[in-house]
Amino acid sequence: MGGSFPSGATSLEVFHLHLNRFFLDLPVRGVDPLRIRQEIGPVGATAAMQDQQTLNQLIQRLPELTLLESCTAEVALKNEKKTMKKEKKKQEKKEKQERQKMEKMERKEKKKIEKEKKEREKKEKQERKKMEEMERKELKKIENEKKEREGTMRGRDDAASRSRCERAVTGENMCRCQRL
C-alpha cells in the first residue's frame, strides 16, 4: 500500500488516507464499499485508532477484503445472470404458451367457420337438388299433358281414319291410310 504521505503524518492519518483511497477505488473494481466498511466495523476502526498493530493488520487485510468482495460480486453477477436467464426462459415459455393458445383458438375458429361453410353448401346443394327435382317433375307433368293432348288428338285422327277406312271398304271416298 505504497504512496506518498505527508511527512509527520500520524498512523491514524495514514490509515485514513489508505481507507479513503481504498474506498474510492472500490466502485471502479465493482465492489460495494458499504460491505467492506461493515467487514471492518466500528470496533476495528476504534481499535486501529488506539493500537498501531491493529491498524497494520487492517491495512494488510484490505486487499484480502477487496478480493473477498470482488469474488462475492462475481458470484452475485453470475447469480443475477442465471436469474435473468431463468426469467427470460420463463417469459419465452409463457409467450410460447400464449402463442400456442392463440393458434389453437384460431385453428378452432377456422375449423368452426369451415364446418359452417360446408353445412351451408350442403343445404344449398340439397335445396338446388330439390328445386331441380321439382322442375323436372313440372317439366314431366307439362310433357305428359302435352303428350296426352296430342294423344287425344291422335286418337281422334285414328278414329277418323278408321271411319274413312270403313268408308273405303264400303266404296265411298278413299281414305288417306289406303293411299299410303
Residuewise pLDDT in 10s, the chain (180 residues): 444 445 555 655 666 666 666 666 656 555 555 665 666 665 555 555 555 565 566 666 666 655 555 555 566 677 788 889 999 999 999 999 999 999 999 999 999 999 999 999 999 999 999 999 999 999 999 988 888 877 666 555 555 555 555 554 555 555 555 544
Here the cell at position 71 is 469474488
Grid-cell match 328445386, residue found: 131
Grid-cell match 486487499, residue found: 63
* Sequence ranges of the domains in the chain: 11-91
Q: Is the pTM of this model over 0.95?
A: no
As a three-state string, the secondary structure of the chain is: CCCCCCCCCCHHHHHHHHHHHHHHHHHHHCCCHHHHHHHHHHHHHHHHHHCHHHHHHHHHHHHHHHHHHHHHHHHHHHHHHHHHHHHHHHHHHHHHHHHHHHHHHHHHHHHHHHHHHHHHHHHHHHHHHHHHHHHHHHHHHHHHHHHHHHHHHHHHHHHHHHHHHHHHHCCCCCCHHHHC
pLDDT of residue 134: 94
Q: Cβ(70)–Cβ(30) under 8 Å?
A: yes
pLDDT of residue 147: 81
